[in-house]
Amino acid sequence: MSRRTLTLMVAAMLTLMLGVAGAMLPVPYVVLSPGPTEDTIGKVKGKPVIAIEGRQTYPTQGKLSLVTVAYQGGPGTRIDLLTALRGWIDPSIAVVPEETIFPKSSTAEQVEEQNIQDMTNSQDDATAAALTELKIPYTSVVAVMSAEKGKPADGKLKPGDEIVSVDGTPAKDVEKVAERVRSRKAGEQVSISVTRDGKPLTVPLTTVKGVDGKPMVGIVMQAKFKFPFKVSINVGDVGGPSAGLMFSLGIMDKLTPGAMTGGKFIAGTGTITPEGHVGPIGGIQQKMVGARKTGATVFLTPAGNCDEALKAVPQGMRLVKIETLHSAVQALDTLRAGGGALPACTAN
């Protein structure tokens, strides 16, 4: 063997070894792929996804499925370059920068906790939206979730406190309470009246300047609803707020006679507000693929996701554009009747 041939062989082997080693190097990306679907009017591990107590419910049929995205990678469990390359080739998978899912200021545990909290909030909002659409009365209060350590409310306001008023102004919603606090100057006193364990309590606090320069007292609040009956939602390990729309439809389907789907397999996604407004979500393309693989032929698509969804519509999938819970109900009515025009996603 000549020296030149040997040199080329060694060089080729070194190149191959470097290529293999490089392919195994961790990279700061996350792979998003189609996740499992769950039928909101069905069961998970033998238990109803939606259980209602204290109100008459009705049998139904068909499917109203929420859809999910599975992710691989993240801080401490980064994917390698080869995995990322495979994801870039596969049209049903998305490869996104790590900070898209895990902000640099957050740990993986914090992101998981936030996803769980978002899921809990979306279930409450979904119940509120369903009851609003059905014109079933309920009440809501502004509740303290937590008090920031070292801030004026620390040790004075507690999780679960229900805020009744701020300086005598009724606490109608979270934003109104925040606006009232921000109307003060930093260093001024604000009087917050709460109900704690059923007893009234007034707490004076001195505002401080927040990181945005606006006055604050250091509390995290949320709307806490009081419904006339109990709605429990069980989805296992699924997190995030994107199943709100499908939860609302599932609740409505169980509370009304007949099947909203007309026996069809309907899937969809979208956040929901208590007023019934549907918002866009992430991973729409992967969610559509997951829905189609499990048999869905109609996909309720948030209007804000239509442009992205149109780029990768699975064969045999019909996209229906949804802006509100009411429009989703109307679309299902039209589908059930077997005719009529439906709001469709169109390219802008």
SS3 call for 223: strand
| CB neighbourhood size of 201 (10 A) | 15
DSSP state of 77: S
Tokens of 137: 């009365």
Of the residues 33, 193, 242, 248, only one is catalytic, namely 242
Give the chain's count of helices (H) and strands (E). Answer: 9, 22
Based on the residue annotation, tell me whether 248 is a catalytic residue of this protein.
no
What long-range pairs does 83-91 form, CB within 8 A, spacing at least 24? 83/31, 84/27, 84/29, 84/31, 85/23, 87/29, 87/31, 87/33, 91/312
Based on the residue annotation, tell me whether 140 is a catalytic residue of this protein.
no
Report the alpha-carbon distance of residue 314 to residue 90 in Å, rounded.
14
Query: Is residue 160 within 8 Å of 177, Cβ to Cβ?
Result: no
Of the residues 63, 156, 254, 287, only one is catalytic, namely 287
Report the alpha-carbon distance of residue 23 to residue 226 in Å, rounded.
54
Residues belonging to the active site: 242, 287
